[in-house]
Structure 1
Amino acid sequence: MSHNRIDITGEKFGKLKAISFTPGTKDKPGRWLCQCDCGKTTFATAGALRAGQRTSCGCSKSDATSKHIAKDAVDGTRRSALKSKLHVRNTSGVKGVTYLKDRKKWVAYIGFQNKTKKLGYFKDKDDAIAARKKAEQELHEPYR
């Protein structure tokens, strides 16, 4: 079966410019090597390029994420992260407190200025929760 491929060499799709085609296999479609405006190269299918699903190497998403974080951050602490939901593996029902089966202890931790600070290991869950709440008051409260 013959495929009539449209030559898109040199065409721009957002920040991507199609450079050359790499034929596919029976399991994988052919892809275009593309040069991004930022200088990086990436591969994309012609369909993804034409549909607008691929418009950069990923640098646009990184730029948008960085701008969002910078807008949301105060002294390196993201305010929105202070209100985020519990982690799916959280076993205590309290943010920053979880049970470690291998140690048979509760651990309390808190994120602050892009770092995770361990607050300690506790035999009693209530002690771990108290340590977390105290750290929230000291570290997070000024940023809320």
Structure 2
Amino acid sequence: MANIRDLTGQRFTRLEVLRLVKQDKHYNLYWLCKCDCGVEKIIGGSGLKSGATKSCGCLNRELSRKRKTNLTHGYSNKERLYWTWKGMKARCYNKNNKRYQHYGGKGVTVCDDWKHDYQKFRRWALDNHYEDNLTIDRIDNNGSYCPENCRWATSKEQANNQSRNRILEYQGKKMTMSQWADYLGITYGTMNSRIQRKWSMERIVNTPIRGHLIVN
């Protein structure tokens, strides 16, 4: 014991060393320490001197609670973007989600960076012009959620990009039903009704609305 550096009375962050407890066969020293929170615990000397052990464990618990508090109260209760992130993951991984069959059920996933870290997703969103009136849209509907395949779009823009949206062509123009409705100045409901009644595109385009010809 003559060559042992006595740590008794020394402080290491939240820990005060009370006394040496034992030395194992590998000459590792273990000290009884009292934490600022009042807990006494035997801790290895190497952990104390290297700074790896700063408390009885209470410091890590406090930091963990703080991180969870920041996420819960700083984002989930206030930021629409947080719920966008949660919804994106639910569609891809929660089989009980009503939209799972169109996402996770078809192999759509969320990249690892976004799946496990809301902060990374949040930084990407804010760097890419996120606004509360926009929704996340996959550029390639067969691809997954990742920075290279996502953008922020209005609900109408996203609807036009959905794989299930029907593309209609007339005189060289190719547009979705929603885009044709806007182009013709009619409601989506009217457009859909005409499609369901099996109208030709020529008839849809040239049938007047309330006495007015839609387009030339």
Compute the TM-score of the two structures, normalised by the length of structure 1: 0.52
CA drift at 1:32: 0.7
Between the aligned partners of 1:21 and 1:84, the Cα distance in structure 2 is 54
- Taking a change above 3 Å as real, the CA distance of residues 26 and 42 of structure 1, as seen in their structure-2 partners, is same
Q: Which has the higher helix share?
A: 2
Identity percentage of aligned residues: 23
1:4 partner letter: N
CA drift at 1:57: 1.0
CA drift at 1:94: 3.2
Between the aligned partners of 2:87 and 2:27, the Cα distance in structure 1 is 42
Instruction: Structure 1: give runs of 5+ residues left out of the alignment.
Output: 87-92, 98-107, 110-118, 120-124, 131-144
1:94 partner letter: C
- Taking a change above 3 Å as real, the CA distance of residues 5 and 27 of structure 1, as seen in their structure-2 partners, is closer
> Where in structure 2 are the equivalents of 1:85-96 lying within 5 Å?
94-96=92-94
2:43 partner letter: A
Q: Which residue does 2:183 correspond to in 1?
A: none
Q: Which residue does 1:141 correspond to in 2?
A: none
Q: Which has the higher strand share?
A: 1
CA contact (8 A) 2:12 2:51 kept: yes
Q: Which residue does 2:67 correspond to in 1?
A: 68
CA contact (8 A) 2:18 2:32 kept: yes
Q: Which residue does 1:82 correspond to in 2?
A: 86
Residues 40-97 of structure 1, C-alpha deviation per residue, up to 9 Å, x if partnerless? 122222222111111111111111111111111149x6849838979xxxxxx93223
The Cα RMSD (Å) is 4.1
- Taking a change above 3 Å as real, the CA distance of residues 58 and 74 of structure 1, as seen in their structure-2 partners, is same
SS in 2 for 1:73: helix
1:96 partner letter: N
1:17 partner letter: E
Matched, 1:57 2:56: yes
CA contact (8 A) 2:28 2:45 kept: no
User: Which has the higher Rg, Structure 1 or Structure 2?
Assistant: 2
Matched, 1:23 2:22: yes
Between the aligned partners of 1:4 and 1:67, the Cα distance in structure 2 is 42
Compute the TM-score of the two structures, normalised by the length of structure 2: 0.36
List, as ranges, runs of 4+ consecutive aligned residues in structure 1 with deviation greater than 2 Å.
27-30, 77-86
CA drift at 1:25: 2.7
What is the number of residues matched between the two proteins? 100
- Taking a change above 3 Å as real, the CA distance of residues 38 and 83 of structure 1, as seen in their structure-2 partners, is farther
Between the aligned partners of 1:9 and 1:85, the Cα distance in structure 2 is 51
Q: Which residue does 1:6 correspond to in 2?
A: 5
Q: Which has the higher contact order (CA 8 A, sep 6+)?
A: 1
